[in-house]
Amino acid sequence: MAASELDRRAYRLLLQHELQTEPAVDSGFAPVSVWAGMRARPEVVVAVADHASGEIRDALQMIPVLQKATRVVVVSASVEPAALRAWGQCPFSAYVVKDGGVDELRRAMTAVMANECYYSPGVQSAIEAGRTQGNHRAALSRREAELLPLLASGLSLRDAAARLMVSYKTADSYRTTLLRKLGVRDRVELTLYAIREGIIEP
């Protein structure tokens, strides 16, 4: 899976000509695309995305539900700790930084085919920290989890609603349940929580 048609074509050629691997199918991250792609029962999914957006997290979480044995290799530009922690909320067996090149992708593919994990140098600790944080926030809905860093970073509720492409009233409902679930009373406490949990940088 890749975030764009250009990415899909580029990585198909890379897998074919550099890694001598013939992709069975390629798709975007929309649920219907993931569902259709997983019908091919792939052994390995190469997911190319620069950031772990809500759509991408949903897509990757669908894969083990649809095909438990499928292993996922993430190829991403994310290297900052906060961005890597977001990837910690996704299930995968390997994480390759785009700058790592073909040799690193080859090592990752070899590892997952041997039922092993692989991480580019310097990323594993931040990703694992994100997995721990994700467990702490498991009670939040996807939309609540997306709203949290927006509000904690200083966006108004109206601007956050626009970013999430929902109505102000819907965002207000998310905010109410978010504060209740986290046991915080206002934006200040929410921001302190987000900094303490590493969701945003101080």
Say whether both 99 and 173 belong to one domain.
Answer: no
| Cβ pair 73, 45 in contact under 8 A | yes
In whole angstroms, what is the distance from residue 34 CA to residue 10 CA? 19
pLDDT at 121: 94
| Cβ pair 85, 130 in contact under 8 A | yes
Say whether both 150 and 168 belong to one domain.
Answer: yes
Dihedral of CA 41/43/47/53: which sign? Answer: positive
What CATH number is attached to the domain comprising 14? 3.40.50.2300
Each residue of 132-188: pLDDT tens digit? 665 555 578 889 989 999 999 999 999 999 999 999 999 999 999 998 888 888 888
Per-residue pLDDT band at 189 (split at 50, 70, 90): confident
| Average pLDDT value for residue range 27-42 | 89
In whole angstroms, what is the distance from residue 108 CA to residue 120 CA? 9
Tokens standing for residue 30 = 């929309």
pLDDT at 108: 95
On whether residue 201 sits in a domain, the answer given is no
**Entry pTM:** 0.66
Say whether both 59 and 118 belong to one domain.
Answer: yes
On whether residue 87 sits in a domain, the answer given is yes
Say whether both 109 and 150 belong to one domain.
Answer: no
Say whether both 24 and 81 belong to one domain.
Answer: yes
On whether residue 202 sits in a domain, the answer given is no
Tell me how many domains the chain contains: 2
Is 147 exposed, middle or buried (CB count within 10 Å of its CB: 0-12, 13-18, 19+)? buried
Residues above pLDDT 90, as percent of the chain: 44
Residue 96 structural domain: 5-134
DSSP string, 33-79: HHHHHHTT--SEEEEE-SS--HHHHHHHHHHHHH-TT-EEEEEE---
C-alpha count within 13 angstroms, C-beta hemisphere, residue 87 = 31
pLDDT at 172: 95
Instruction: Show which of 114, 134, 154 is a domain's final residue.
Output: 134
pLDDT at 138: 53
Q: Residue 201: pLDDT above 80?
A: no
Instruction: Show which of 134, 157, 184 is a domain's final residue.
Output: 134
Say whether both 185 and 129 belong to one domain.
Answer: no
What CATH number is attached to the domain comprising 181? 1.10.10.10
Say whether both 76 and 94 belong to one domain.
Answer: yes
On whether residue 25 sits in a domain, the answer given is yes
